[in-house]
Amino acid sequence: MRLIFTLSLVGLLTTQALGQGCVAIRGFTSCSPSTFTNSNLIGKGWQLSTNYRYFESFRHFRGTHEEPDRLTANTEVINYTTQLSLGMTYFFNRREGLTIVLPYSYFVRSSLYEHGRTERHTSRASGLGDIRISYDRWLWEPDSATNGNLLVSAGIKLPTGNYNAR
């Protein structure tokens, strides 16, 4: 309990937040839309989970300075990102299971200045990302762990995505 309080206090006292950087190169599907935290509720069987994210960017910054003139001059770069992850977990029992996550992404990028400044160019890329498979196990029996439990997972990420999608 003391550790949770300390970590919460540190999080509340943090005064600086940093931007995420260039969004054109950053995908952000979740690590896993895992359903394993519900294993103690259903026991043996299947459970399905999903994670959906949508992101749009059009504002430009150099460090902390925003460049609003890019919007008025129609030279802004517009990025649309849509990502969906489908997770399927098979519970062997209330303590162990196997999870597979299938991520799908769809990206659109529109820009003027990168293509001669005469016509806006739009490019798209989409497809299946890297599939993740993991084995999950609660360290303690869920019935006896009334004050908390720790989930341990080990897995692999299969290179099923197209790194060079165009």
Break the chain into its structural domains and give their ranges: 21-158
How far from 6 is each of 3, 11, 16, CA to CA, in Å?
Answer: 5, 9, 18
Ramachandran angles phi, psi of 115, nearest 5°: -135, 45
Higher-confidence residue: 59 or 164? 59
Q: What is the mean pLDDT of the chain?
A: 81
pLDDT tens across 42-97, in order?
678 888 888 888 888 888 888 788 888 888 888 888 889 899 999 999 989 988 99
